[in-house]
Structure 1
Amino acid sequence: NLRIMTQQAVTHSPNAPLHIKLAFARREDVVSDAATKTGLRIPTRFAADRPGESTESHWCQAIDLSDQPISAGLSEVGFAQIELAGLPDLQAELSAVRAAGKLSAATAKAIRGHIQGQTFRLTDGRRLKVLFVAPEGFIMRSAGPNGLDVAPDETMTEHNGHRAADRVHGDQNVYGTPLKQMLKGIAPWLFRHQTGQRANRFSPVHLLNLWIPLQQSTQPLALADRRTVDSATQQVRYALPTDGFLERDAQTQLNDIWLFLHDPKQHWYCDTAMDSGKAYVFDTLGEPHGAATLPGESVAEKYYRRLQALVHAIALGRPSEIGSILDEPLLEEPANTPPTLRSNIQAIRSLIMEAEQSGPDEFAEKDWKARSEAALDRLVRKSLEMRAVAVVF
């Protein structure tokens, strides 16, 4: 006998503001930047930052790009979406990575080859030509619902073992490491950028993050309209240690990036229905972005843990554990849960109900186990990201 516990919320409807939870830098960690004598900095935290530490979370209003596409240009807001569905060879590689849950060096090289040299139309009518995709910084990220670590024992490597980036950040300071060393100080004159009070608005050459969601019904990437972010008071310098996953010399082990402080005037965007048929391109020299938590993810996390435990208990033939799991009340997802996430939650709930209605002899039925593992996998956000040099014309 299943007991359904409901949660009241505003019904999700197209064009309605979406509420997302984002993690920002804490104001109490900010100090004046002694090195530059201008701006703000957070001192480096060695021994690797841990997700959720030294952050503060805020629920922010966002526009769901699956309901309301943005028409402003990459140079204005800091990001854009491009179409990848028309590249069948690329899609085949992406599908294989999604199924494997891993990115090999050979596959990374093949994906780079399918993207490098391509020209894409942007939403503002301009075109973007990818000149070069860098081998370094090409990684696969994964995270479960509500930021759950679904592979706690996986070691971080150059390509794999990366969690979703749960802090709002900007990937690179055009004046900092390693661009300063790699390009002998000419990066600010080569790349278009907006960095504090300094900017290069004349160059057509962009240094971009090209971000491809393999699946993302949970923890979707959120991006800010950078016109709504005050760089003088909300953008903070930070030197990120990279020695845990990149092989660099001592001069470049600290990667100069940006962290951001929350402000209610910031405008945010994400796409809750986006898959590998599209990609984001965004300014890696300062565009604020980070993994967002959606309404319903706390319920999705409970279901994920419950179905995972049920599959394990059935496989080991532990009747008391099975009964205890099935006796737990089922939760109804909030009414403003986005449709893709809602569908995945309902699929897991149906599998749990199916298990309750089955007899003990049916628990080992292979199709139920396979369907359960597939349903669990659909709640895991998987994405690829890489650095690219592109020209916009």
Structure 2
Amino acid sequence: MKIDIIAGARPNFIKIAPLIETINKFKKNGKDINYRLVHTGQHYDKNMSGSFFEQLGIPDPDVNLGAGGGTQAEQTAAIMMGYEKLLLLEPVDLCVVVGDVTSTMACTIVARKLTIPVAHIEAGIRSGDWTMPEEINRVVTDSITNYFFTTTVTAVENLIKQGVDESHIFFVGNIMIDTFFKNRNHFKPPLIWNQLQLKKEDYLLLTMHRPSNVDDKEKLIAFLTQIINNSKVPVVFPVHPRTSKILQEMCFESDSLHLIEPLSYLEFNYLAENAKAVITDSGGITEETTVMGVPCITLRNSTERPETITIGTNELIGSNPQAIPPILKKLFENQWKKGKIPEKWDGKTAERIVEILWNLRDDLN
């Protein structure tokens, strides 16, 4: 049984690490299951790609398609062309894609057109926000996927509503949390920790990267101003390259705002776990803060991870900067809710996935 594992961007790397480790365990136990790691090249920055391979113990990719850069359409086309050439030369029994990045959708389309089955890890997630490229990636991927591995019961329900055969849906839990639990004891402080003499729960951690928040310069500055003016502690902001460029153009500075380079997985999660709260427009971070028990404020109008709100520590406040003052008042008055960890977010998701994949081997032949 030969599987392609597709990875192209930071969220993918976090999710494939436990999958690869588990497949290797199966191989050691005599199971004839092999994988080819295909890096599409979607993220090519050292801190957004390379360091994740090193820290999470991911082997060097068997293939790198080198499809980084360009517009979304250009990137999608480059990934599809590169992956098609690879599959025509060396086909596999199954293509495994994770998450909702461009690489996920592009490789799914190529594999299915070549009649190669696809398994989607993190299937069924929906935000309902069609302005998000990720939502389009999710829906397209799930419309042609063969096997669906879901993080929550809500995702299962979404797929059933879509008309997916329930026998092809597997509620396995959150594979990203496997990586979190395995590496939690290895989280390490970045340089900024000592440079600013940071202390636990005495700073806010901020991430912003979505075009709807950062491409509108006035809106970005308004968010930052509201956060700074209503925070009683310093704000640490690992800046995505696209956001850094905009802030440089705007010459925006503040003594309370500390802009730093993107962090590695171990360093970022050290800051997240020790923060007073995390303010973000990322989906994956809301899952990690839920497991950490750290308050999380999401700067979006919708979320594809509602369990982080209904069960976890996340609050969705929308994309209006004026929503910042009341939510930070609630935070600093220590009125934040206590969250719980969702079902099957237990560090054993990869084991469940690989066991299912192994049992599907006869269906793939």
Range of TM-score over shorter length: under 0.3
User: Could you tell me the TM-score, scaled by structure 2's length?
Assistant: 0.26
Larger radius of gyration: 1
| Higher-strand-fraction structure | 1
| Higher-helix-fraction structure | 2
User: Could you tell me the TM-score, scaled by structure 1's length?
Assistant: 0.25
